[in-house]
């Protein structure tokens, strides 16, 4: 299949709707342009940050109080090193 799209004076072009749907390109989405070994332009969609939401499941929740204590102890040790 071939699709033709014009390029504006600003270098902008419209990706045809069929291709946007096929590639899953949403409005305000991002795409990557690559040039292959045949000097052909390849357009690849870049998934949004939110597409990865829920893909990481932390095994242990963070304890904010423990983190604060740890940072405080580290800063105390660093301060003591510089005091001598």
Main-chain dihedrals φ then ψ at residue 57, nearest 5 degrees: -115, 100
Angle at 50 between CA 31 and CA 66, to 5 degrees: 135
pLDDT tens for the chain, 84 residues: list them.
788 999 999 999 999 999 999 999 988 888 999 999 999 999 999 887 766 666 666 677 778 889 999 999 999 998 888 766
Task: State residue 1's pLDDT score.
Answer: 79
Task: State residue 54's pLDDT score.
Answer: 66
Alpha carbon distances (Å) from 44 to 51, 52, 59, 72, 78: 15, 17, 33, 46, 48
């Amino acid at each position: 299949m071939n699709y033709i799209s014009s390029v504006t004076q600003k270098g902008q072009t419209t990706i045809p709707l069929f291709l946007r749907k096929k590639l899953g390109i949403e409005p305000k989405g991002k795409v990557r342009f690559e040039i292959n070994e045949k000097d052909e332009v390849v357009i690849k969609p870049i998934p949004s940050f939110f597409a990865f939401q829920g893909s990481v499941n932390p095994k242990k929740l963070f304890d904010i109080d423990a983190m604060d204590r740890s940072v405080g102890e580290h800063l105390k040790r660093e301060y003591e090193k510089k005091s001598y």
